[in-house]
């Protein structure tokens, strides 16, 4: 996505063709398409982080992800420090997430 945006800016164009391996036209990508993909609200980001974490946990909801101002916070129990690191990195890979951290567990 970043490479396409860079090429659009360098060539001062508002859209670019998308071609397959045989160089056949399969679509067009516009600046608006890029903006839609990159500019997403905290609720959408939280849902995507949560989905990735649930997939990593084989469909179980082991952790809870929240997002505020683009910063993801993941709460829950972790088996070890490696798992904490993996979960933090996974949250950070969601486009639009500026930072990720592990939050404190709260008791009810």
Kind plus residue range of the DSSP H or E element containing 56: helix 42-56
Mean pLDDT of 92-104: 90
Q: State the residue range of the domain holding 95.
A: 42-102
Contact call for residues 54 and 79 (beta carbons, < 8 A) = no
CATH of the domain at 24: 3.10.580.10
Of 43 and 39, the one with more pLDDT: 43
Bridge partners, 30 (sequence order): 15
Residues 6+ apart with CB under 8 A from 14: 8, 30, 31
Q: What is the pLDDT of residue 96?
A: 82
47 and 97 belong to one structural domain: yes
15 and 46 belong to one structural domain: no
Taking 50 as the threshold, does the pLDDT of residue 107 lie above it?
A: no
Quick one: tokens of 31?
């600046």
Number of independent structural domains in the chain? 2
55 and 93 belong to one structural domain: yes
94 and 47 belong to one structural domain: yes
Q: What is the pLDDT of residue 105?
A: 61
Q: Is residue 66 assigned to a domain?
A: yes
- Residue 104 pLDDT grade (very low, low, confident, very high; cuts 50, 70, 90): confident
What does the alpha-carbon distance between residue 13 and residue 78 come to, in Å, rounded to a whole number? 47
Q: Is residue 107 assigned to a domain?
A: no
Distances in whole angstroms, Cα of residue 33 to Cα of each of 5, 12, 27, 37, 73: 10, 16, 12, 6, 28
Taking 80 as the threshold, does the pLDDT of residue 70 lie above it?
A: yes
CATH of the domain at 55: 3.30.70
């Amino acid at each position: 996505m970043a490479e396409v945006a860079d090429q659009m800016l360098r060539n001062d164009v508002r859209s670019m063709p998308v071609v397959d391996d045989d160089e056949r036209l399969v679509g067009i990508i516009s600046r608006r398409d890029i903006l839609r993909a990159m500019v997403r609200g905290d609720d959408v980001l939280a849902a995507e982080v949560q989905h990735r974490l649930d997939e990593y946990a084989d469909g179980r909801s082991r952790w809870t992800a929240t997002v505020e101002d683009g910063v993801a916070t993941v709460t829950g129990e972790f088996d070890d420090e490696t798992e904490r690191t993996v979960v933090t990195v996974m949250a950070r890979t969601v486009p639009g997430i500026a930072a990720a951290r592990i939050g404190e567990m709260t008791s009810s």
